[in-house]
Amino acid sequence: MMMTQELRNIAIIAHVDHGKTTLIDSIMKQSGMFRDNQAVDERVMDSGDLEKERGITILAKPTSVVWKDTRINIIDTPGHADFGGEVERVLGMADGVILLTDAAEGPMPQTKFVLGKALAQGLRPIVIINKIDRSDGRPEEVVDEVFDLFVALDANEEQLDFPILYASGRDGWCVEELDDTRENLHPLLDRILAHVAPPQVDAKAPFAMLATLLDSDPYLGRCLVGRVMQGTASVNESVRALNLDGSVVESGRLTKLLRFEGTNRVPVDQVAAGDIVCIAGLSIASVSDTICAPAVTIPLKSTPIDPPTMSVTITVNDSPLAGREGKKVTSTVIRERLLAEAETNVAITFSESGGKDAFEIGGRGELQLGVLIETMRREGFEMTVSRPRVLFQADEASNRLEPMEEVTIDVDEEYSSGVVDGLNRRKGEMLDMRAAGAGKTRLVFLAPSRGLIGYQSRFLTETRGTGVLNRIFHSYAPYKGEIIGRRNGALISTDNGIAVAYALFNLQDRGLMFVSPQTPVYQGMIVGEHNRNNDLEINVLKGKQLTNVRASGTDEAVKLVPAKRMSLEEMMAYINEDELLEVTPENLRLRKMYLDPHARKRAARA
């Protein structure tokens, strides 16, 4: 059986795109996890389709490597604030943490968020300044900024005495001093063994582990991943699950025990305290529950999860084009899928209306809700989605409080005034403005989440795609008053049918079109954005009247402006309160809540 001394548990935390997943790739290659001739994907830890496409980590995942007879469990964590629910819990499994910072960008909002959580749990970080080979890298300044951040987050003496390494995760090397020879990642692996303490656990106590992540396996069903806090357990042993208040959730047997080796899960007969393992056999137990021997009565401590700040309403697709593409269209199927998501994804909440035909899903932000809806449409679901709303709270005096976010923006100097103006209109307050090197300005704002819905795409337009915007939940503050939403009205189709190029050509001067010729449309569907601030009903089906007289110049080729294409998150943010987004496996369509023009007028008067 494995001794605890030969084990280290470490989490890698960083801001989005600072290179966590790429660094883990290099560590796995150099520690002999793969054969020399084995074909390995890039960012092998990002296994989901959406993770691969967007280049972001959405789910935290453990892996392990063996170095000098010691097994190191490494947990890759998400960098986006929307998936912060994962990071908080994952840190509970680790005894040490690697903080990765980009050599050019320095500490960013998410760095501050994840580092704050790690320091609060008493972990001692190893700091890596990554992407040292960037032409605009400024490693010495970044080290000072990281130190200032530790001080600002009330790090203790031990935590402030952090080791620093300089690395390029992509090229697979790290050094302790900038002028050392750049060979491999061995200095990092040695540093982990020296700096991170082995798990301090009681192997004699009865078995107890804290479930931290939920997973499902096509062969084993529901799996719980977590760290064994005390004792040992064998296959087929009886266990029970306790929730945070100590009541029993369920009792069962451990049908399968798995350990992480590289990217694989390997079945074992016994697991011991200190290790990160995956267990199967329980059907109800969830994240934050304690899985333990029947003798244990007190649950292990776990961090309560931050509440969601934003929600959308999901209903059945009732448009005239419903049911043509998706296989899963009924409210029962949608409800089951959303319940399953709320069960495995702790940062998501689920509630339903009295009639059980509308479901409200709460999450941390547009990105998280967008990822859920995108995943569902790929699974064959059809549904309609409302505009995201922020979730208000009330203080003791019953005043309305709304979620505020800290927004950090890096932008070229010439665009900074436009950005400041845009955020002022969204009730943002500027906290800081300073030069960030090479003609860039860094702006920090405190802005209501409401005002930031849909701001990302406008921001990219205003900064010609050069700006970088990062946002993170800050706190709840008194309601900031009315914020002006979308200024332009919608162009609404008057009829059901197929859009015709000739009609679109004649209507182009009314506004920007969202549909191309030959697109199926229906009455009440939004086919474009009006130039003015009122809605306008238009007929996009009107073909050319044909006569048998041939005149010169009548058959000029129709020249169309390309239709505007938007992503799922942009569309969700674009719609107003009286509009919906229709989501099907192949199409995204904007529509009015009431398709009939008379019903719309009645609703507007009411």
The answer to whether 327 is annotated as binding is no
How long a stretch of residues is the chain?
606
Sheet strands (E) in 479-544: 490-493, 497-498, 511-513, 520-521, 526-530, 536-538
Q: Tell me the two tokens of residue 458.
A: 């406008």
Q: What is the DSSP letter of 263?
A: T
Q: Decide the pairing of beta strands 270-272 and 520-521.
A: unpaired
Amino acid at 329: V
User: Does residue 28 contact residue 262 with C-beta atoms inside 8 Å?
Assistant: yes
The answer to whether 129 is annotated as binding is no
User: Does residue 64 contact residue 261 with C-beta atoms inside 8 Å?
Assistant: yes
The answer to whether 596 is annotated as binding is no
Phi, psi of 550 (to 5 degrees): -100, 120
The answer to whether 144 is annotated as binding is no
**Distance from C-alpha of 111 to C-alpha of 122, rounded to nearest angstrom:** 17
In the block, residue with structure tokens 């505007």? 564
Q: Decide the pairing of beta strands 393-394 and 358-363.
A: unpaired
User: Does residue 183 contact residue 215 with C-beta atoms inside 8 Å?
Assistant: no
Helix (H, G, I), strand (E, B) or coil at 420: helix
CA distances from 248 to 206, 293, 528 (A): 17, 12, 55
Q: Where are the alpha helices (DSSP H) in 125-284?
A: 139-152, 157-160, 186-195
The answer to whether 22 is annotated as binding is yes
Q: Enumerate the β-bridge partners of residue 310.
A: 363, 390
The answer to whether 264 is annotated as binding is no
User: Does residue 195 contact residue 159 with C-beta atoms inside 8 Å?
Assistant: no
The answer to whether 18 is annotated as binding is yes
The answer to whether 408 is annotated as binding is no
Q: Where are the alpha helices (DSSP H) in 345-401?
A: 366-378
The answer to whether 269 is annotated as binding is no
The answer to whether 542 is annotated as binding is no
In the block, residue with structure tokens 């064998």? 234
Phi, psi of 206 (to 5 degrees): -65, 150
Binding-site annotation: residue ranges for GTP: 17-22, 130-133
Binding-site annotation: residue ranges: 17-22, 130-133
